[in-house]
Amino acid sequence: MYAYFTFLQNYLFEKKFFKASEFDIPIINVGNLAVGGSGKSPMIEYLITLLSPHYQIATLSRGYGRTTKGFREVLANSTTNEAGDEPVQFKTKFPFLKVFVGEDRVESVTQLLFEYPSIELILLDDAFQHRAIKAGLNILLTDYSKIFTRDLSMPLGRLREFPAASQRAQMVVVTKCPANISEQEQAILRQELSLHTEAPIMFSYLVYDNLKYLSSDISVPEFGNILTVTGLANPKPMIDYLQSHYNPSRMEHLSYPDHHRFNSTDLRTIKDKFDKFATQNKVLVVSEKDGVRLKTLNHTNSLLDLPIVVLPIRIAFIEPQGHLFNQIIENYVQQNTNDN
C-alpha cells in the first residue's frame, strides 16, 4: 500500500496535477529507493569535495532525528538534537559550508537563497521521494548487498517505491561494492538495473581512513582489543573492515538502531562494558555519525576519559567510472551556472 501510494503521488506529479517548484540554480539530489543506509552521506561529502573549490555550496537535509522543527541553519556549535547527525557531521568536516535543515524543501530552498543569495549550488540530502521540488540532477544510490531490483516494497522489504521509479534518476550508483568487483559482475548488474532505468550505472566502494581520536588530533597508539559502538542501518562493512584490517585479539560490538539518540543509560552501559571488556591495550571505535552524536551530547562526562576513536569513511569509484561521474556532475553544474 505504501508503494502504491507513492506511485499515485508520482503519477499526479507526472500528469501535472501537482506542481514541482524549480529554481534558477543547479540542484543535485542524492537519494535512494530503500529505507536505511545506502551511503548518502559519503556521496554528499564526495560532491562537496569535488565542487566546493569552484562554487559556493549549501546542503539541505531534513535533519532526521532532531528535536526541532522547521527551517534552520546548522552552525559550528549546533548539536545533533537541534539539527540531526548528518548535517552536524557535514558542518564539522567542512566548516566553510552552509548547512541547513528543513522538512519543507521548497520553503527551505526559498529561505536559504533569500538569506544567502551568493549560493550557487544546492545539494539535497535524501529527497528523491520529495517531488515538490525539481532537482536538475538526481543521483540514485542502491546498496550492493540489497540492489533495489532484488528488494520488496515495505513492509515485506525496504523499498519506498517500485523499481520503475529509478527512471527519474540521471545517474545510478551501486554503493558499498567489493573494491575488486569483477567486470563480469558489473555487466550482470548493469543489465539487471537497465531493465528499469536508462541512466548511466556506476559502481563505488567504501574507503576507510586511519583511525583518529574523537576529541584530538593525537595519533592513535597501537591496540589489540576493540569495542565497537554503532548506531547505523548496516554496520557490517565497518565491522568486517575492523576485523580484517586490524586483526584485533578481541573484538565486541554494541549495536544500536540507525540515528540512535544516545542517552545517559546508554553511556553508562557503554562505559561499563568498556571497563570490563579487556584489562589493557583497548580502544572504543565509533563511526563518524556516532562520533558526532556523542561529541555534541551534554552528558558525555562518563565517556570523556575513554580512548574513543573514530573510523572516517569516504567513497571511491571503480575506475575509470569516477572520471565519468565527475565529468557528468561538473558539466551539469557548469552549464546551469553559466545559463543563470
Predicted TM-score of the model (pTM): 0.90
For residue 230, which phi and psi values (nearest 5 degrees)?
-135, 145
**Which residue from 78, 48, 83, 49 is spatially nearest to 65, judged by alpha carbons?**
83
Kindly report, as residue ranges, where domains of CATH 3.40.50 are found in the chain: 2-55+120-207+316-339, 212-311
Lookup result for grid cell 549549501: 58
Average confidence score pLDDT of the chain: 88
Residue 216 has a pLDDT of 73
Q: Give tens-digit pLDDT for 204-226.
A: 999 999 898 887 767 687 888 99
Q: Which residues of the chain fall short of a pLDDT of 50?
A: none
Task: Sort 339 into a burial class: Cβ within 10 Å, 0-12 / 13-18 / 19+.
Answer: exposed
Cell digits of residue 130: 520529495
For the structural domain made of 2-55+120-207+316-339, what CATH number should be given?
Answer: 3.40.50
pLDDT at residue 132 in the model: 79
Strands 212-213 vs 308-311: parallel, antiparallel or unpaired: antiparallel
Q: Which pLDDT value is given to residue 151?
A: 84
Residue 339 is predicted with a pLDDT of: 55
What are the distances in angstroms from CA 179 to CA 208, 260, 317, 319? 12, 29, 9, 10
Name the 3-class secondary structure at 111. Answer: helix
Per-residue model confidence as pLDDT tens digits over 18-34: 676 789 999 999 999 88
**What is the pLDDT at residue 227?**
94
d(CA 205, CA 117): 36
Structure confidence at residue 221 (pLDDT): 75
| pLDDT of amino acid 300 | 54
pLDDT value of position 215: 77
Helix runs in 157-316, H state only = 183-193, 236-246, 264-277, 288-296
Q: What is the per-residue pLDDT for 152?
A: 77
For 320-335, the DSSP string reads THHHHHHHHHHHHHHH
The pLDDT of residue 18 = 65
Q: Does domain 212-311 have CATH number 3.40.50?
A: yes
